[in-house]
Amino acid sequence: MSQKIVIIGGVAAGTSAAAKARRTNPDCEITLYTDDQDISYAGCGLPYFVGGGIAAKENLIARTAAEFQQEHITVNMMTRVEEIKPESCKLVVRDFVKSYEVGYDRLIIATGARPLKPNLPGVDLNGVFTLRSLQDSLRMKEYLAQKHPKTIAIVGGGYIGLEMAENFAQLGCQICIIEKSPHIIPNMDEDMAQILTEYLESKGIAIHTGEAVEGLIGEDCVKGVRTDRGELAADCVLLAIGVIPNSELASSIGLQLGTKNAIWVNSQMETSVEHIYAAGDCATTMHLISGKEVYIPLGTTANKQGKVAGANAAGGHAAFKGVLGTGIARVMEMEVSRTGLSENECKALELNFVSKRIKSHTAAGYAPESKEMYLKLIADQNSGRLLGGQIVGYAGSAKRIDTLAAAIHLGATMEQLTDMDLAYAPPFSPVWDPVLIALNQF
């Protein structure tokens, strides 16, 4: 009898797992359950779909259920897994009409995460949104088209909040960003975040940092936001304050949870219970510098973890060693990116670090496309090892972070990197690429 692999969740991790399991073992039986109305969609593209840059929701779908079926992967949409019975290797699932049991030999939990929705007055008013699923984005688009809000408050100044600021601005809305931390993009250093803050303010976006939301104001539809500093008018509110892992199903059967209540996994994506794997935004991972368990939910990691879980569940041998927390976003003309450790993270790890920041340009000074960019490097003072990098600048700046991520991934020291043969021609960089300029400061 062929091995039966069951996957819970059908976005990045679940579908990657299914595809890899099929490639690893052409004969196994693969069944995927998702409670969503959509499958295999690019959550990362949702801000641009809301803003209109991506015209049709179909453009966000990587593979349809029918395409999975062609690979002999059975997809059950709008079907929720309600219970796992590990002692009998069975699941209780519920669709529109009935609840029934299915068996598995290997189970992959890829249940993802959900947006944090604080228990605040007015949080369920019309016009208050979170953005996670394709259906969330459709609801938001409908509201925007019907109500034409003039002022939108974005609660949370992380990547999603920033990307949505760009897209709401394209719709002609007045925007304010409210961030509880002392600066926006809290996973970057304050001096780098400040460059972006000044840019956004110059574009008319109000930035309220160090300010906590205490409630949403309105009767039926939202009219404003109450913070610990006063009231702000808003006829639409986006809550983008982070996510929590969907790990309740796992914890209900005693699977070990790790940091931030995500499902603990090892590098093979095995959970603490035999034959059960977990991957993606519901699972933990390791930080490649600190060696500590972290929860940094991103699509890049979800795809990689899903692939490893799928391979191993199907009898292969794969591992995923961990992440550097590499991230990137664009807000209007400005790009931001980061990798490795920030100064705050170095301090928390009690590392003896040194940091340098440079201002340079995206192209040769005389090239018409040349624009400002800032690059910051953080290195270990004892070993000389590169620990982290952060970039803020105009188009062409942020993807330079990949050079730094690759160097950190390989454990390179500053000395090993200063003579790197990086590409140069006037439209792309000054003759000394900003990465090299920064490296040569040490």
Residues designated catalytic: 44
What DSSP assignment string belongs to 16-43?
HHHHHHHHH-TTSEEEEE-SSSS-SB-G
Q: Which is nearer to ligand FAD, 82 or 419 (CB)?
A: 82
State which of residues 80, 139, 180, 260 lies at the interface with ligand FAD (CB under 6 A). 80
Residue 12 touching ligand FAD (CB under 6 A) = yes
State which of residues 7, 11, 386, 404 lies at the interface with ligand FAD (CB under 6 A). 11
State which of residues 60, 113, 173, 373 lies at the interface with ligand FAD (CB under 6 A). 113
Residues binding ligand FAD: number (CB under 6 A): 33
Cβ(14)–Cβ(38) below 8 Å:
no
Residue 324 touching ligand FAD (CB under 6 A) = no
Q: Phi-psi category of 279—alpha, beta or left, where left has phi over 0 and alpha has psi -120 to 50?
A: beta
Q: Which is nearer to ligand FAD, 7 or 225 (CB)?
A: 7
Cβ(400)–Cβ(434) below 8 Å:
yes
State which of residues 29, 44, 174, 358 lies at the interface with ligand FAD (CB under 6 A). 44
Which residues, 6 or more positions from 291, have their beta carbon under 8 angstroms from its beta carbon? none
Cβ 250 to ligand FAD shortest distance, Å: 10
Span of 299-307, 365-373, 393-401, 426-434 interacting with ligand FAD by CB under 6 A? 299-307
Cβ(396)–Cβ(366) below 8 Å:
no
Residue 6 touching ligand FAD (CB under 6 A) = no
Q: Nearest-5° angle of CA 391, CA 393, CA 399?
A: 55
State which of residues 186, 218, 297, 430 lies at the interface with ligand FAD (CB under 6 A). 297
SS3 assignment, position 235: coil
Cβ 304 to ligand FAD shortest distance, Å: 10
Cβ 131 to ligand FAD shortest distance, Å: 5
Beta bridge mates, 209: 179
CA gap 286, 290 in Å, rounded = 8
Token pair belonging to 323: 């992440």
| Burial group, residue 368, by CB count within 10 angstroms (0-12, 13-18, 19+) | exposed
Residue 299 touching ligand FAD (CB under 6 A) = yes
Cβ 301 to ligand FAD shortest distance, Å: 7
Q: Which is nearer to ligand FAD, 259 or 441 (CB)?
A: 259
State which of residues 131, 184, 265, 276 lies at the interface with ligand FAD (CB under 6 A). 131
Buried b / exposed e across 193-231, counting CB within 10 Å, b at 16+?
A: bbbbbebbeeeebebbbebebebbbbeeebbbbbbeeee
Residue 331 touching ligand FAD (CB under 6 A) = no
Q: Report the number of secondary-structure helices (H) and strands (E) in the chain.
A: 12, 25
Residue 285 touching ligand FAD (CB under 6 A) = no
Cβ 401 to ligand FAD shortest distance, Å: 13
Residue 162 touching ligand FAD (CB under 6 A) = no
Point out which residues bind ligand FAD (CB under 6 A).
Answer: 8-14, 33-36, 43-44, 46-47, 80-81, 110-113, 131-132, 160, 246, 249, 280-281, 297-300, 302
